[in-house]
Chains A and B, each alone.
Chain A
Amino acid sequence: MTGAVPLNAYLILSAALFVIGVIGVLIRRNALIIFMAIELMLNAVNLTFVAFSRFLASMDGQIIVLFVMAVAAAEVALGLAIIIALYRNKESIDVDEINLLRG
């Protein structure tokens, strides 16, 4: 356990965080928590970008991370507005009760 941390350590950590996010999206009923799990996945991907940027000596990854953050901010603003609109209509943010799109 000495020396520099290899790229694979970052990739494994990032994959683990991403999978935790996927599990959160699939099992939770609270729409807000599902949203947080989506943020978790975005952050896991950001870690991959920055790790590759460092180990391949390129700045592209860090700049893409900035764009990901901008898109995440826009997504959160819109998603939370949708959740508030849903709560006004149905008095609930339980995704098991919000099935208007179900055929």
Chain B
Amino acid sequence: MEWLVFAPLAAVALATAVSVIVLRNPMYCALSLVGTFFALSGLFLLLQAQFIAVVQVIIYAGAIMVLFLFVIMLLDVGHEPPAWLRRDRPKLVLGMVLIGLLLLELAVAIGSRVSQGIQGPYTSEVVNAIGNTQLIGRLLFTDFLIPFEITSIILLVAIVGAMVLAKR
């Protein structure tokens, strides 16, 4: 039964991801990216990560895509020059070779069955008994407190940096 949900979502994610890098008009690319985000959100739900799925829609499909659309409209670059490929052909070929190697490496790594690790304590029964969101909140403020605080500093630096860059 899980395949009936997984296969369409994976197909939508792949199709919209390809159209992000193929379409000419940046506006259509941004809308395709929203499709990818929603498909991935569905996959997160399938993986029983409800909080992450909702945050994915709110932050990525909401906040980040609004920023993208805002900049696309602000810069008025809806009509990209006809040649959308990079001009430097030798480097383009070199890049394609490197992508092929990357794909090969990922295939070998996934196929080699070393991806079995030590099982943690949070099986789906435990998570469902406590609640996904509550568990994430508890861990965020106990085990992951220092990374959490560092994240707030990163966001502060980003705010200040964006203001400085945009003011110039």
Enumerate chain A interface residues (CB-CB to B < 8 A). 1-5, 7-13, 15-24, 26-30, 32-33, 35-37, 39-40, 43, 46-47, 50-54, 56-60, 62-63, 65-67, 69-78, 80-85, 87, 93-96
The A-contacting residues of B in range 1-31, CB under 8 angstroms, are 1-3, 6-7, 10, 13-14, 17-18, 20-21, 26, 29-30
Cβ contact within 8 Å between B60 and A67: no
Shortest distance in angstroms between A87's beta carbon and chain B's nearest beta carbon?
A: 5
Cβ contact within 8 Å between B161 and A66: no
Shortest distance in angstroms between B155's beta carbon and chain A's nearest beta carbon?
A: 6
Query: Complex Cα distance A52/B40, Å?
Result: 15
Cβ contact within 8 Å between B154 and A11: no
Enumerate chain B interface residues (CB-CB to A < 8 A). 1-3, 6-7, 10, 13-14, 17-18, 20-21, 26, 29-30, 33, 36-37, 40, 43-44, 46-49, 51-52, 55-56, 59-60, 63-64, 67-68, 71-72, 74-75, 77, 80-81, 83-88, 92, 95-96, 99, 102-103, 106-107, 110, 115, 117-124, 126-127, 132, 135-136, 139-140, 144, 147, 151, 154-155, 157-159, 161-162, 165-166, 168
Which residue of B36, B85, B126, B155 is within 8 Å of A29 (Cβ)?
B85
With A78-B162, A82-B165, A93-B77 as given contacts, are A30 and B84 in contact (CB-CB < 8 Å)? yes
Chain A residue nearest to B88 in the complex (CB): A96
Which residue of A29, A37, A54, A84 is within 8 Å of B84 (Cβ)?
A29
Cβ contact within 8 Å between A11 and B47: no
Cβ contact within 8 Å between B162 and A77: yes
Chain A residue nearest to B157 in the complex (CB): A74
Cβ contact within 8 Å between A76 and B6: no
Kindly list chain B residues whose C-beta atoms are within 8 Å of the C-beta of A81.
161-162, 165-166
Chain A residue nearest to B59 in the complex (CB): A69
Chain A residue nearest to B159 in the complex (CB): A77
Cβ contact within 8 Å between A85 and B13: no
Sample (26) of A-B pairs whose CB atoms are under 8 Å apart: A5-B3, A5-B46, A9-B10, A12-B110, A15-B103, A20-B18, A22-B102, A26-B96, A27-B92, A28-B21, A32-B68, A39-B64, A40-B21, A40-B36, A58-B120, A59-B135, A59-B139, A60-B120, A62-B52, A63-B144, A66-B136, A73-B59, A78-B158, A84-B71, A93-B75, A93-B77
Shortest distance in angstroms between A10's beta carbon and chain B's nearest beta carbon?
A: 7
Shortest distance in angstroms between A35's beta carbon and chain B's nearest beta carbon?
A: 7
Cβ contact within 8 Å between A66 and B52: yes
